[in-house]
Amino acid sequence: MSLQNGWKASGWHVFAYQSMMKKTYGEDVSAIDRQAKADLAQSIQTLMQNPEEGKTYLFEKMVSQWDEPTFMSVWITKSVEPYAAPGRLTDLVYSEAFDSFYRFAEGALVKILYFGFLLCTASLLRRRTEEQMLLPLILLGGVLFHMIFEAKSQYVLEYLPFFVPLAAYGAWASANCVGRVIKQRMRKGGGQGDR
């Protein structure tokens, strides 16, 4: 499942695979296990034999998760049969106008978080302190984990709270750095004008 190309995106859950396994093997868990392992080995072999295809696949898998700004919060529910008649709020949320606005607003917020995180990363890499342990937690625990296992952008949502303080720290550290540079230039400029 985690190394399959489906109609949704690279590495995303494909229910058709589960249906095919159940149809073929019924309740024979051992047979399903053997087939799943064989399919996984085949997928790994294919990616290793075609490194460019493997890079493209993993890149698309990563981007499809981390660059979908709504994290499936609306469109995943559109395909579910409602248990009651939808109300006016539901009609509004599922409308194209709301969807466009929501995607724009969420996209802007996510880009701000990611940019702040990038600034934080630059700051922490310069300082070389134990604070750098936060980066492996997010990068290895988030990106790499979901590169190996099943992908869905909703899984990324749980990592966003980690980005908020790091993005704030990145903005603060960058503002301090810019402030120091401005002060240094003002001192240099002021000193030359007095001569």
What mean pLDDT, rounded, does the chain reach?
82
Which residue carries 């660059």 as its tokens? Answer: 67
Q: Calculate helix-pair angle for 29-49, 51-66, nearest 10 degrees.
A: 110
Distance CA 38, CA 34 (A): 6
Contact (CB, 8 A) for 187 and 137 = no
The predicted pLDDT at position 24 comes to 93
49 or 1, greater pLDDT: 49
What does pTM read for this prediction?
0.71
30-76 pLDDT tens trace: 999 999 899 889 888 988 899 998 888 888 888 888 888 888 877 77
The predicted pLDDT at position 23 comes to 92
Q: What single string gives the DSSP state of each residue in 35-67?
A: HHHHHHHHHHHHHHH-HHHHHHHHHHHHHHHHT
The two tokens of residue 169 are 């720290």
Residues near 47 by Cβ (< 8 Å), separated by ≥ 6? Answer: 3, 53, 54, 57
User: In whole angstroms, what separates CA 98 from the centre of its chain?
Assistant: 23
Contact (CB, 8 A) for 167 and 115 = yes
**DSSP reduced 3-state for 90:** helix
The predicted pLDDT at position 136 comes to 64
Which residue carries 């342990």 as its tokens? Answer: 133
